[in-house]
């Protein structure tokens, strides 16, 4: 349904292109799917550039080629791309910033496309993340949200885990609030709970996706935890952090 709507919107782009001399570039997860790009090339030939999730860093080069050589470009590489640092980020405000700490996902929940289009988990180096946050702090940002498809399986190498990263972000002067999304319940380890408990900056509003309250449905979803394990986690967190508040995601009507 969403894909259909997405494709329908391309028709609008054609009108814009006809009225103005512009370059149309389309990118993102869906472009990693071969049948989508085939359809685009066949039915929407006015699109100049198609790029995937691992070639964002090449968009300026693609635009240059389109302008200078009038080429149609499809710039997609398969999953497990490298991490490119230093790409410009447009932030929507100057107090709160989201900082990606890892890409991809290894979990293969049965309803999710992410591992297929974003590849396996790749974590940014701790120093790159911390330097980015220090720069943000200097610019006056106060609130940081650490982002990852499975944020708490962050692996900075040499046994540097998500809890280590949280501790180091806490030390950055100027940052007052730290959040993270989305953790996976199976990776919510005690060291992370302890860091949150000790922290003066990490938000006590924790988002812990449940997805389903039935162990059978969780199994069909390939979530890798049971109802009991999820409840046990929530109780462990509540015991250590009494003022914690939870939010969650629940899929209603999962087709088995
Ligand atoms: S953990 Fe999240 S991103 Fe990864 S497969 Fe499951 S739903 Fe998708």
The ranges assigned to domains in the chain are 2-75, 96-247
At which residue do the structure tokens 């180091």 appear?
168
The pLDDT of 49-66, averaged and rounded, is 86
Peptide bond into 182 cis (omega under 30): yes
Q: How far is the CA of 131 from the centre of ligand 1 (A)?
A: 28
Is the pLDDT assigned to residue 181 strictly greater than 70?
yes
Which amino acid residue places its CA nearest to atom 3 of ligand 1?
149
Higher per-residue pLDDT: 227 or 119 = 227
Task: Please indicate whether residue 159 or residue 73 has the higher confidence score (pLDDT).
Answer: 159
Residue 105 CA: nearest ligand 1 atom is 4
With a cut of 70, say whether residue 194 has pLDDT above it: yes
Which of 177, 115, 116 has the alpha carbon at shortest distance from 149? 115
Q: Is 251 in the pocket of ligand 1 (CB under 6 A)?
A: no
Res. 58: pLDDT tops 80:
yes
Q: Which ligand 1 atom is at minimum distance from the Cα of 222?
A: 6
The verdict on the CB of residue 25 being under 6 Å from ligand 1 is: no
Rounded to whole angstroms, the Cα distance separating 211 from 235 reads 18
β-bridge mates for residue 250, sequence order: 211
List strand residue ranges (DSSP E) for 67-124, in order.
73-75, 96-100, 102-103, 122-123
Q: For position 169, what pLDDT does the model report? A: 98
C-alpha 108 to ligand 1 mean position (Å): 6
Lowest pLDDT segment from 35-39, 134-138, 218-222, 233-237? 35-39
Q: Which burial class, exposed, middle or buried, applies to 60 when counting CB atoms under 10 A from its CB (0-12, 13-18, 19+)?
A: exposed
Whether 108 is in the pocket of ligand 1, judged by its Cβ within 6 Å, is yes
Specify whether domain 96-247 bears CATH 3.80.30.20: yes
Contacts of 81 (CB under 8 A, 6+ apart): 53, 54, 55, 119
Counting from 1 in the atom list of ligand 1, the atom nearest the Cα of 150 is: 1
Residue pair 109/222 in contact (Cβ under 8 Å)? The answer is yes
Q: How confident is the model at residue 35 (pLDDT cuts 50, 70, 90)?
A: confident
Residue 187: pLDDT band with limits 50, 70, 90: very high
**Which of 53, 114, 220 has the most ligand 1 atoms within 8 A of CB, as the residue to mutate?**
114
State the pLDDT at residue 81.
64
Residue to substitute in 149, 152, 153 for testing ligand 1 pocket (most ligand atoms within 8 angstroms of CB): 149
What percentage of the chain exceeds 70 in pLDDT?
95
Q: Ligand 1 pocket, 50 CB below 6 A? A: no
Question: What average pLDDT does this structure show over 29-38?
Answer: 82
- Asked if the model's pLDDT at residue 1 lies above 50, the reply is no
Q: Which amino acid residue places its CA nearest to atom 6 of ligand 1?
A: 109
Is 103 within 8 Å of 153 (Cβ atoms)?
no
* Residue range 77-121, pLDDT digits in tens: 766 667 777 787 888 888 999 999 999 999 999 999 888 888 889
pTM of the entire structure? 0.84
């Amino acid at each position: 349904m969403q894909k259909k709507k997405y494709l329908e919107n391309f028709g609008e782009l054609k009108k814009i292109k006809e009225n103005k001399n512009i370059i149309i570039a389309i990118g993102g997860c869906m472009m990693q799917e071969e049948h989508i790009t085939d359809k685009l090339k066949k039915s929407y030939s006015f699109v100049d550039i198609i790029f995937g999730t691992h070639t964002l860093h090449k968009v300026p080069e693609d635009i240059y080629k389109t302008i200078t050589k009038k080429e149609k470009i499809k710039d997609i590489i398969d999953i497990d791309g490298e991490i490119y640092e230093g790409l410009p980020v447009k932030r929507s405000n100057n107090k709160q910033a989201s900082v990606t700490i890892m890409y991809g996902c290894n979990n293969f929940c049965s309803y999710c496309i992410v591992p297929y289009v974003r590849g396996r988990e790749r974590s940014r180096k701790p120093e790159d993340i911390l330097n980015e946050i220090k720069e943000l702090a200097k610019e006056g940002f106060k609130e940081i949200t650490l982002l990852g498809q499975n944020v708490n399986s962050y692996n900075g190498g040499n046994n540097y885990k998500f809890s280590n990263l949280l501790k180091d972000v806490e030390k950055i002067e100027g940052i007052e609030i730290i959040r993270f999304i989305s953790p996976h319940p199976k990776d919510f380890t005690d060291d992370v709970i302890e860091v949150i408990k000790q922290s003066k900056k990490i938000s006590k509003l924790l988002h812990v996706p449940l997805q389903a309250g039935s162990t059978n449905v969780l199994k069909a979803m390939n979530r890798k935890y049971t109802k009991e394990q999820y409840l046990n986690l929530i109780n462990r967190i509540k015991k250590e952090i009494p003022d914690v508040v939870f939010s969650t995601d629940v899929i209603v009507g999962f087709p088995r």
